[in-house]
Amino acid sequence: MAVVYDAFAPFYDIEYGHKEDDLPFYADLADTYGDPILEIGVGTARVSIELALKGHQVWGVDHSVRMLELARRKIRVQRDTVRKRIRLVQADMRRFDLAMTFNLCIIPFRTFLHNLTPKQQISTLKSIYNHLTDDGILALDLFVPLHQVLGKSHWRVSIPPEELNSPDKGITITADIRHDPAGQLLIVQNIYHQPKQKPRRASMRYRYVFRYEMELLLNLAGFKVLSCTGGFSGEPYDFHSGMMCFVAKKQLNSI
């Protein structure tokens, strides 16, 4: 069955392959809490490959076959030792069973926001809880629903080729974003304009969450929040923060 990111897959690394700001944050957590590590929404393995290059054992879960195909392609060209450190599994973050426990689970790049209802959010967090060792750690980053954005009902963003990972391809991306405040949803439709080809479209939804809503969700699923920062370098979470990074610890006997 096709899933949302299958349509994004051919363009994902063109748009985000050069994103690096989060890598030291997740690598530091990996060094601190140790292997094995579980990445939820591994995508094209941007983060998992970085962790494996640093010597970590990583399992990556994703439900998009297309994204996993690209991840496999990128892993295949790594050194044998690095390749052997990564294992990919096609599964839905809301319900999976790997028959395995991890010291650290990471959900980079706002992937958690693809849970569109409280039921899905809790189901994902509980699935992760069940895959963590007794004092296992969960870390994730999200965008902040900024007050400037919440006042709008729809807007358009254009990304020119020079801001993309492969400017030589001449692709321009237009993102039309619709805001449904009642559902806390941002509905994004990307149009990929490619030279001499028909434009391609891909659409996805994010359910945004507020800081204390996320803390409550984590608590409900059995986690204690250790920190919420406004960036990947421990910046305080404040009025100016465009993102939230959570680190939470599994609590025993809480669910």
Provide the binding-site residues for ligand SAM, judged by CB under 6 A: 5, 16, 41-43, 46-47, 61-64, 67, 92-94, 108-109, 111, 114
Beta carbon nearer to ligand SAM, 1 or 99: 1
Nearer to ligand SAM, 77 or 252 (CB): 77
* CB 81, min distance to ligand SAM, A: 22
Q: What is the spatial distance between Cα 46 and Cα 42, in angstroms, rounded to a whole number? A: 8
Q: How far is the CB of 129 from ligand SAM (least distance, A)?
A: 16
Q: Which is nearer to ligand SAM, 120 or 251 (CB)?
A: 120
- As measured in angstroms, the least distance from the Cβ of 195 to ligand SAM is 25
Smallest distance, Å, CB 253 to ligand SAM? 28
Q: Which residue is nearest to ligand SAM (CB)?
A: 43
CA distance 59 to 48: 8
Q: Provide, rounded to whole angstroms, the least separation between the CB of residue 91 and ligand SAM.
A: 7
Please, which residue, 5 or 33, has the CB nearer to ligand SAM?
Answer: 5
Given a contact cutoff of 8 angstroms between Cβ atoms, the answer to whether 202 and 175 are in contact is: no
Cβ of residue 106: shortest distance to ligand SAM, in angstroms? 8
d(C-alpha 68, C-alpha 79), whole Å: 19
Q: Which is nearer to ligand SAM, 61 or 138 (CB)?
A: 61
Pick between residue 58 and residue 218 the one whose CB is nearest to ligand SAM.
58
User: Shortest Cβ distance from residue 252 to ligand SAM (Å)?
Assistant: 26
Nearest to 121 by CA among 52, 186, 245, 214: 214
The residue (of 109 and 223) whose beta carbon lies closer to ligand SAM is: 109
